Structure 1
Amino acid sequence: MDKSTYFPLDFEAFWSAQKRKAEKSEWQGEWTERDYPISSIRLLNCTFTSFDGTPINGICLLPKHLKKGPLMICYPGYTGDKGFPSYFLKWAMLGLAVAVFDVRGQGLSPDHARYRRAAAVPGWMLLGADAPETYYFTNVIKDGWLQLQWLLSGGLPFSVQDVILNGSSQGGGLALASGALMTMDDDCYNPSFILSDWPFLSDFPDAVEEASEGPYMEIVQYGKRHDPLRRNWEDLMKTLSYVDSVHFASKITSPLYMAIGTADKVTPPSTVFNVFDASPSKEKHIEVYHGYVHEVNPFHEEKKLAYTAEKMSTYSYRKGENQ
């Protein structure tokens, strides 16, 4: 397809309308505290009821000695879930509050949305893809926006003063989406920084040609089964363009720290570089790990910790001012 026409000219207007419509719906969050063997951490079980009544499970970790400070929102990978509290202890030990929610329909959280068109192949990539307004990932991104509103408006027993967004693969794409929506909203401050590892949902036209494993193959299989001559391909790409990380990244001015493995067959390196290049951020960096595929990277986990600790060292709440 002609990528020069791929960017939707009404991108900002579309997302502004989607956010406002979602905000006017009935949504709410609630939490209950549960016992946790690490006494320095308050652990909350959260349930967020989104714009269409979908209940989404989450957890929050709060350092007990903090009354206010930065919140890190973590986003799960494709088919994953909110995970276990121990996954996020390293961030809490840095003095961060941490929140993570399931993605609707993934993990143990349902999806109550009504889609006019089924996915056609196993997975979520084609669910509701007949229009951007009804697309599955449009709903997912709206969930993330409303969760952010709840967290920032006093939903937790913790005063949020800054937001850090963090995710890998699907989570990396969703972190970029939330960061862009914050940046495009005059009533919301920008995220302090964004950690986005090998982001999925990136540069769909190239991704479906270059990927050989993972969720992009759902789109490839759909084309093979239902549109082998690609007569409706541009219509599908138009829907996907509204959730493309390249387009969200073009709105992000916050510090951006990314990574990619050169042997990644799930999120092809070229698509991730296109995301990185699209951001106008004046403080951005991408780590390139030779030989790494789409996998957990312990080297990068250490580098992310160091990067975050350096950023945290400039925050006043690390100096006891919130006691």
Structure 2
Amino acid sequence: MAQFDLPLEQLERYSPAVPEPADFDAFWQRTVKDARNSPVILELREAHNGLRLVDCWDVTFAGFGADPIRAWYSRPAGIEAPLPAVVEYVGYGRGRGLPHERLTWPAAGYAHLLMDCRGQGDQYGAGGQTPDPHPSPHGGHWPITRGILEPEDYYYRRLITDAVRAVEAVRSLPGVDPARVVAAGNSQGGGLALAVAGLVPDLSALLCTAPLLCHIQRAIQITDAAPYGEIVNYLAVRRDAEDAVRRTLSYVDAVAFARRAHAPAHFGVGLRDNVCPPSTVFAAYNQYGAAGGNQAGVERTIEVYPFNHHEGGDAVQVRRQLEWLNARTHAARRQAGAARS
């Protein structure tokens, strides 16, 4: 795919007026508050991953509607001290897979919670184990179109709530420093991490590459690639549903969450990405922290890969994330030690 979006010099200034509903904050405050009516950890049991250097537990926590959400909790073996934790969200169509699949963060010395995605896991990887028990009578059968005619029924209302509860779950697990929790993800996972950054005020950092759900109104205008193309296909048949669909999408657009976030943030984008077009990513990046009135004081950086598609920087991006996060984690640890002394 050749570059098809705005040139980089325009992307770096691209800050569109992405609309958000007047009751956006009230909608999400009520949604998250309702989810907190249930204890967060439902089950925790040791999982055998076949590895000597990484311990793992099978976690079930209460997400939206108190629904049981599965996750893998991993940490470096033999370390008892509380560790900073990375909560990772997976891409569209994936599930949590097998407990030995994602080892970067525990190998780097972090506790790691990998959240399953309700009702997904049948397109890539090794599958998922979390059903979505809620019917979606208003919308299509793809995850991104389930319940899309009503914000209350929309699939991503449930999934974003699960993502917030995953942070609350990891903070209650043994061996985690609750003051040092990071949200991380690529693609759909990046969009969920951005939403968490906007909804959890004391998150310590954000790692976000090629995020889905950003500037969705533009995305469905300039790309037919899935999953945005699934919205396009839905509207191609249900031509009278456009207003309702656009209204629902405004409640989950990650640009609105990005405006409200203020944790230090590391982004990544490929300029040839037609799955999550670069202008949609820059729309979130350029407005990150803006709602607080002190955007200049919010730390953010973005890695740009001019010749890459949706894979972005791939392993190079992971290395840069590690370097960036390690520097901040070690600095936080030194500051905490100085405060205690």
- For the 8 Å contact 2:84–2:180, the answer to whether it is kept is yes
Identify which range, 256-265 or 58-67, moves more after superposition: 58-67
- For the 8 Å contact 1:43–1:62, the answer to whether it is kept is yes
Helix, strand or coil at the partner of 2:145: coil
Identify which range, 100-109 or 48-57, moves more after superposition: 48-57
Amino acid at match of 2:328: K
The alignment-based identity, stated in percent, is: 30
Matches within 5 A, 1:1-323: 6-25=19-38, 28-52=41-65, 54-63=67-76, 64-106=78-120, 107-119=128-140, 122-152=141-171, 154-183=172-201, 190-227=202-239, 231-280=240-289, 281=295, 282-295=298-311, 297-316=314-333
Identify which range, 21-30 or 157-166, moves more after superposition: 21-30
- For the 8 Å contact 1:263–1:290, the answer to whether it is kept is yes
Which whole-Å CA distance do the structure 1 matches of 2:224 and 2:83 have between them?
42
Give the deviation of 1:178 after TM superposition: 0.9
- Per-residue CA deviation, residues 168-221 of structure 1 (Å, 9 max, x unaligned), is 0000000011111102xxxxxx21110000100111110001113110001111
Which whole-Å CA distance do the structure 2 matches of 1:181 and 1:302 have between them?
27
Equivalent residue, structure 1, for 2:124 = none
- For the 8 Å contact 2:270–2:309, the answer to whether it is kept is yes
How many residues are matched?
308
- For the 8 Å contact 2:170–2:176, the answer to whether it is kept is no
TM-score by length of 1: 0.88
Which whole-Å CA distance do the structure 2 matches of 1:319 and 1:26 have between them?
29
Which whole-Å CA distance do the structure 1 matches of 2:42 and 2:259 have between them?
31
Which whole-Å CA distance do the structure 1 matches of 2:75 and 2:85 have between them?
9
Equivalent residue, structure 2, for 1:187 = none
Amino acid at match of 1:94: A
Helix, strand or coil at the partner of 2:102: helix
Which whole-Å CA distance do the structure 1 matches of 2:175 and 2:331 have between them?
24
- For the 8 Å contact 2:149–2:248, the answer to whether it is kept is yes
- For the 8 Å contact 1:29–1:155, the answer to whether it is kept is no
Which whole-Å CA distance do the structure 2 matches of 1:5 and 1:83 have between them?
35
Identify which range, 172-181 or 84-93, moves more after superposition: 84-93
TM-score by length of 2: 0.83
Amino acid at match of 2:36: E
Give the deviation of 1:292 after TM superposition: 0.7
- For the 8 Å contact 1:62–1:92, the answer to whether it is kept is yes
Which whole-Å CA distance do the structure 2 matches of 1:164 and 1:51 have between them?
21
Give the deviation of 1:126 after TM superposition: 1.4
Alignment CA distance shift 1:312-1:87 (3 Å): farther
- For the 8 Å contact 1:26–1:50, the answer to whether it is kept is no
